[in-house]
Amino acid sequence: MSEAKKILSITIPTYNRAMYLKRLLDSIVSQAIKYCAEVEVIIINNASTDNTEDVVYDFLSKVPAAKYIRNESNLGMDGNFKKCFDSASAKYFWMIGDDDFLSENAIQNVLILLNGCVNYDLIYVSSTITNNNSDAALDYDAVTTNDDFIRRVGIMFTFISGMICNKETYLSLPFDSKPAMKEGTFLMHMYWQLPLLKNGDEFVIINNNLIYATPDNSGGYRLFHVFSKNLSQLLDSFYNRKDYISTKIRGAAALFLMNFLNNAHKTRGYENENYITDCDYAFNDLKAYRYFLRFFYLFPVFLKFSDRVKPLIKKIMRK
């Protein structure tokens, strides 16, 4: 008799982050064992050169039902993300960054939603970097329009650990609603999230902070290029530039990137870049960028005054 299909795939792409990966795997050991009938755990090692494999085998000794794949060569971030998606067999797909970790009842709370009567297209899971409210009863908001979902989620729509996707629904969408996945964008996960966002009508936001996120721990690519030009070009495949969702996501990205201007600590892992051309390409149709934010992009030394301006900009962007 074949094994019953599980409802949730948790996939973990990892590369040379053994210390962080151990923290994540330790956070899900007991949960993975308890809910092994409903949840599959897949770890995909992108040809790490550190002691990642030792960490994984220690986890497998405790959770033998988990699956482990080691790539023969490094596929790049996008290639490994795609392999995570392709390897998942459950109805819902949750990819968790190897430097984040879960609260002790995260999987339980997610399963409460997934086992309900609603066939959700996308689920956003709230996160924290300092505190946690996961011990409280499950608190969530059902959202029935993609506009409202993006208004609430904003730039966190790009946070891989925070999005659970209905892979079953994605696979059932018409072929022409899913542009071919293009590696090198560093936004591979958007290729399955955006079709679900555009075509879906059942969304939910989990307000409990079920994820502990590790801030300022990424790198290896051009941050501004990815979250301006690459993100905009992906959105252009789905939406007109004047569409509410396009303007909301790009506006949120423009505000998000301000946190990295003239900040050596936050950008230490990223490649150096001259970002104005890419940001103009991505954001110049947005009045808030053209008339306010662009000044700070050009003259980041004045960012010390930005806290006085940001509330006004956010108010304009909410309209």
Give me the pLDDT at residue 125, please.
Answer: 97
Place of tokens 């210390």: 19
- 8-212 under CATH 3.90.550.10, yes or no: yes
Give me the pLDDT at residue 32, please.
Answer: 96
Q: What beta strand segments (E) does the chain contain?
A: 8-14, 39-45, 67-70, 92-95, 101-102, 122-128, 140-143, 163-166, 203-212
Give me the pLDDT at residue 222, please.
Answer: 93
The domain limits of the chain are: 8-212, 223-317
Give me the pLDDT at residue 2, please.
Answer: 47
DSSP 316: H
The residues facing 14 across adjacent strands are 45
Give the model confidence (pLDDT) of 153-207 as tens digits: 999 999 999 999 999 999 999 998 998 899 999 999 999 999 999 999 999 999 9
What does the block give as tokens for 309?
């301006």
Count of beta carbons in the 10 Å neighbourhood of residue 113? 18
Distance (Å, whole) CA 137 – CA 207: 10
Give me the pLDDT at residue 237, please.
Answer: 94
Give me the pLDDT at residue 314, please.
Answer: 61
Distance (Å, whole) CA 70 – CA 114: 29
Residues with pLDDT less than 70, the chain: 1-3, 131-135, 304-319
Helix axes of 190-199 and 146-153: crossing angle, nearest 10 degrees? 130
Provide DSSP, 238-298: TS-TTSHHHHHHHHHHHHHHHTTTT-TTTTTTSPP---HHHHHHHHTTSHHIIIIIHHHHH
